[in-house]
Each structure stands twice: as structure tokens, then as C-alpha cells.
Chains A and B, each alone.
Chain A
Amino acid sequence: MALLDKKHIGHKFNAFTTTVEAGKIRLFCKAIGEENPIYLDEAAAKAAGYRTIVAPPTFATAVTNDDPEKGGLLRLLGVDIGLILHGEQHYEYHAPIYVGDKLTCQQKVVDIYDKKGGALWFVVSDTEVKDQSGKPVVTARGITVVRNPDAGKN
């Protein structure tokens, strides 16, 4: 039996809205070793030509991870979190993400396929992130790899 069911291709998750907070960006920057003041200080961001404090490029992951129904992909697929690896991640940036933005995220499953005779499964999902005016700010594509715990067993 296949580890994952391809019927989930096309599944849309519930959209959610999250507000971008300065403190969250500051913690994200501390974690990644980013010290550029445009991410930390409003005056520095404005001096560099931004409306206010801006988020670093991959802060988009903190936005999409703020889902109140976190873990929805794994629940949909019936997969244990210890069996997944991140295969690929792609971002297309349409506009900067600013502190105070209210961002709405909509994720959907776009493909499911396997490799190595079903030992590894790949789940492709896209997330559209739009700001409070409905304007797209980021398009994200993630590929989650699921290890089949029964691969190689008879």
C-alpha cells in the first residue's frame, strides 16, 4: 500500500491571518545572526528607504508557521513529524513584509509523488501570502520529504 494518498492533491487548507510583530522579527534575527538595523530599528529602516521595520527574506517561514491549525499537512497525510525532512523551499517576493502588516496565508497541496520504489514520498505545497489590502507579498513553494518507515522491510 502506498504510504501517502494522492487524493490529497488539490487540498486547500483553511486560510489564516497573522500580524507581523517587531519582537518576532527581532527574535528571528537573533536566531539567524542577522544584525542589519533595518530589521531591528524603525529609524534605520526609514533611513534605508523602507516604510518601517522590514522582515528578512526567509522570515516568510515564520509567517506561514503561525498557522493556528499548525501541523495540518501532517494530519492530512497521517504522517509522524519525526519522519519528515525538508526537501526544497522557494520564495517569490512581490513586496516587502513590514511590521504591522496583517498577512493572510492560503496553503494548498499541489503534488504528491514517490521515489526509490516508495521509500521516499514528496509533497509539494504552495502558500500565497497577501497583505491587508489583498496584494500578494510572497508566494511560497515547499517540498516536504516523508521517509517510509517500512521501506526495505518485507
Chain B
Amino acid sequence: MKRPGIIKAVLIFIFLIFLVDGGLRLYRHRHFDVPVVAGPGVTRVARLSDFGPGLKGTMADTPVYFLEGTEPGGKAVLMSNTHANEPEGFLAALLMLENAVVEKGTLIIIPEFNNSASRNTRPGDGYPLYFEIPTDWGRKKFRMGNRDASPLDQWPDPDVYIHYPDRQLLSYIDVRNVNRTWPGRPNGPLMEKVTFAAMEIMRREKVDVAIDIHGAETMFPVTNCIVAPEKSNRIATMASLTVKAKEGFDSHVEPSPIGFRGLSHREIGDFSDTLPFLLEAPIPFLDQPTGPKTVKFLLDGKDPFLLNLAQKKKLFVSYDESGWPLEKRVGQHCSVTLEILSQYSKKKPERSILVRNVPRYAEIVQKGVGYYFHDPSEAEKDRVYPN
């Protein structure tokens, strides 16, 4: 090798360009906060670490919003971004957070349930770092997260994740998947501390209903559904039938498997008196045999490869040229959530949870998701929270 000094200097220069350019983008993503305008229904804001002190000062700590009604009643917890690469749940939760008014009972919303995952990225799959939603006052920017918590916050991964307390052997990566670490423990890995804190909310606040909002691949059988254990099954079935009859969309009921541990729809019900539900809306972006993972695809859910597979009946949902746009996914989540609360309130009137001012499926599909978000620059400063 001739002139090794010059060659090394050139290589170091190229190395620094890659390091600084890539590093800055990733650093900014991890520290980018989404401003959320607390709506008229928000009466107080706590932190998850108030219920699990082990989370204090970590990236897993996250705001917990309380929307308390003027009349006493039941309590419901709404969690989203359990998997931070399924943004329809987060957007549905924000939509409720910025608009809902609770007349009776209490609604507790944890929009960034896995805050660490929402600050993690998936460059290997070509995920975008951000996406934007058009609103009446401009474009609202969101982080695109990952399914699992960042290794910066919980590392190293074990060879096999041994679930607590059942000792079931799960995939190593599930130790950072907050929907495998329920019911958690106060001194476990960080994600177990997250679920433990959430279980403390269920127990201390005597929560009646817990709803965990997700998105799932169109090629995955558990999609477009409400996953419910035995004790939640009746309400889930009534909610499913009602939205089908009144609003014209499908969201069938899937039983929560007894032998598969660590999931919210299983462990919340087994370790508290709360009725758990997990909502899935189809998100084509998560499917594997698709074109590039662009922001456009994330928002409109249109992909020619999936269309081809749909014609060969390889998908578990109906799929045509209109794709599966974000408005439909968010609309479904809002309607199903409202219907579950409504059905629970009918079953237990003394513990009813009455929520108003949340749009339903048809309205969201017509007006778009961004229509319901408020401009943080126009809001009172003490009503804007970074998420």
C-alpha cells in the first residue's frame, strides 16, 4: 500500500461523515418530543414512575393523563404505543386526549406506553424516522418508533427471555417487548418495571377496563379484531357486533390464549380485577412482502404486492386498491374503544364510564385524523405536554 498515511486520512474523513451524519439524525430522533395539547377533559397529569418508582429518571418513564368526570363511576385505562411502530393506536389515544370530555367515571390515557421504543428506530427495515399528519393549522410531526425498547435503555438481551412469574421461555427479543413482560415486577428488567407500574395503576385505582391499542399485519391472523380473555369476552362480542351493525366495519373477537404468557390481554385479567381488551387494526406497513417502507405507505396503506396477495386470498382482511388508510385504522380504534366503554357501562351502570366529544369511525374517515389535533403554539403553555 502506497502512502498509507494519506489513505488512512481519507478513510477517517469518510468514517467521520457517516458517523456524524447518521449519529446526529439518530440523536435528534431519540430526543424529539411530540407536543400534546391536553384537552378540556384532562384534569391532572401524573408520571408512570409515580406508580413504579424504578422508572424515575429512565427513558421508560412517561406521562399518564387523567380525565376525571364530574360524577363518580368506573375507571378505564387506555394504552397506546405499546408497540411504537403501530402509530394508529397512538394517534387514536392522542385524539381522545385532546378532545374527550368524561361525564362520569375516569379515563386514564398512557399514549406512549413504551416511551423507550418510541425513541428507537428500525433502520434495518428502512423505516422512516418521522411521519407527518396534515392538520388545519399545518403538519403535525411524529416520531416513528420501533416494536421493542431501545438497547440504550435495556441491554444486553438474554439468550432466552424467561417470563416472570410463569417461567415460560420466550424469544430473547421479547425482554424488550412490553407486550410480553406483563405483569412485571418492580426489580426486573426495565420493561417489566413498565408493566409493573401499569399493574399498580390497575390495582390502586381499581380500574374496571384496560384497552391496549395496536396494529397488526394483514398477513397475520390476529388482525382487525378485539383480543379478549374469557372474562372480557361478552363485552368484546357485544362491541364487535354493535360496530358491525351500526358503523359497518369488521372487528371480530379473538380469544386470548391461556398458554401464551406475558401479553396484556392475558396477564392484566389474571393479575387484577380489570377486564382487559387488546385492539388490532390492519397496518399493511408492517407486512413483510411489500414495497419500500415509505411515509406514504404508512399513511395510505396501499401496496401493489399486498394487492396481488389479496387476489390470491393470502391476507386475513379484505384489501383492494384503496389500501387500508390511517383514517380507517384510527377510526376503528376510536369506535371500538367507545363501544367497549358503552357496553361495560350498560353491564355495570354503577361503574359506568361516559365519554363524549370523541369522533367515531365515519367522521374520522371523512374529516381525517389531523382535523382533531390542536395547534400547540396557540394553546396555553401549561396545557402542552412533551411526549
A and B: interacting chains: no
* Chain B residues at the A interface, C-beta cutoff of 8 Å: none
